[in-house]
Amino acid sequence: KLDWDNDYFAFQLSKDSTRKDFSDDNYSNGFHLQYSEDDEDYFIGHQIYTPHFLVIDFLIEEDRPYAGFLYGGYAKHYYSDAGFIASFPNHTYHKLTLGIVGPSSHAENIQKSWHKTFQDYPPSGWDHQLQDEPILNYGFFHECDLYPDRKGYKLLPYIECNIGNELIDSQIGYKFKIGKNIP
């Protein structure tokens, strides 16, 4: 599976639609490549973050800094007919992400090459990017199927937690799926 997004695809125009606003709007580019086999996922990815205006070559402390994130990881999925919360079919996974933020991610070279190739304005503030820092993150996800016998819809409450120096968060929610023969 390959996911790729770039702000170039959603070309932003200013209010009068006659000039670019010189913005990548804090996120410029990213890809995520994942190979899955036998309840295991192996993945690599790269993301580029930028301040709002790319043509300013001095540090704006209130804005997002220039940063690249190069990462790889592994996730293991477990499926069971009875979970630790209730006797419903469930899905759990554990995910480990390793990577680096900073110049070693090569985000500056990638963004400048892209802008040059497409004759776009040059990003100017990479001298102020975040410095190299290793990344280590652990993620946990658990969901259960409240209506396992229904083929036309599913209600899946879930919990997700992440901890590390990439992301610290937790979420609780529901997924609702509707369709034919939902697995």
pLDDT at 121: 73
pLDDT at 94: 98
pLDDT of 169-183, one tens digit each?
Answer: 999 999 998 988 776
pLDDT of 41-93, one tens digit each?
Answer: 999 999 998 887 777 788 878 888 889 999 999 999 999 886 555 678 899 99
pLDDT at 17: 43
- Mean pLDDT computed over 33-39: 96
DSSP-derived secondary structure for the chain? -EEEEEGGGG----TTSSS---B-TTEEEEEEEEEEETTEEEEEEEEEE--SBSS--S--TTSPPPEEEEEEEEEEEEEESS-SSSSS-EEEEEEEEEEEESGGG-HHHHHHHHHHHTTPPPP--GGGPPPPEEEEEEEEEEEE-S-TT-SSEEEEEEEEEEEESS--EEEEEEEEEESSS--
* Predicted model pTM: 0.79
Q: Is residue 139 predicted with pLDDT exceeding 60? A: yes
pLDDT of 103-121, one tens digit each?
Answer: 999 999 988 888 788 777 7
